[in-house]
């Protein structure tokens, strides 16, 4: 059954430009190489919620867990941590519409 890896974070102060360059140039291509398919990205404009939410699709929960446990994921995630704070992720069953 397909699953979605939901990730949330806030962009670190004063890192906006570098963050967006990293996301477009390295993060998105990197998750695609690992076998995850970007499905959505949301930005919070108002309220006490994470600033960014990203959804990545995987064929199965097992595939998602294996990717998130891989060395390549750890390297990509550590690079992401240089631009963000308050990171979290979870694996959920795919539903239509917005998932949080």
* Domain positions in the chain: 3-93
- Phi and psi dihedrals of 95, rounded to 5? -130, 160
Residues 6 or more apart whose CB falls under 8 angstroms from that of 51 comprise 9, 10, 11, 43, 44
Q: pLDDT band at residue 98, thresholds of 50, 70 and 90?
A: low
Domain spanning 3-93, CATH architecture:
2-Layer Sandwich (3.30)
77-96 pLDDT per residue, tens: 999 999 999 999 999 998 77
**Residue 99 in this model has a pLDDT that exceeds 60:** no
32-80 pLDDT per residue, tens: 999 999 999 999 988 889 999 999 999 999 999 999 999 999 999 999 9
Indicate the pTM of the whole model. Answer: 0.89
Report the DSSP pairing between strands 84-93 and 3-11. Answer: antiparallel
**Stretch (H or E) spanning 41:** strand 37-43
- The predicted model gives 22-40 an average pLDDT of 97
């Amino acid at each position: 059954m397909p699953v979605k890896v939901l990730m949330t974070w806030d962009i670190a102060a004063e890192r906006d430009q570098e963050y967006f360059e990293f996301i477009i140039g390295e993060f998105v291509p990197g998750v695609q190489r690992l076998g995850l398919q970007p499905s959505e990205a949301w930005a919070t404009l108002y309220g006490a919620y994470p600033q960014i939410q990203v959804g990545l699709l995987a064929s199965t929960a097992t595939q998602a867990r294996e990717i998130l446990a891989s060395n390549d994921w750890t390297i990509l995630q550590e690079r992401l941590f240089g631009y963000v704070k308050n990171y979290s992720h979870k694996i959920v069953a795919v539903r239509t519409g917005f998932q949080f």
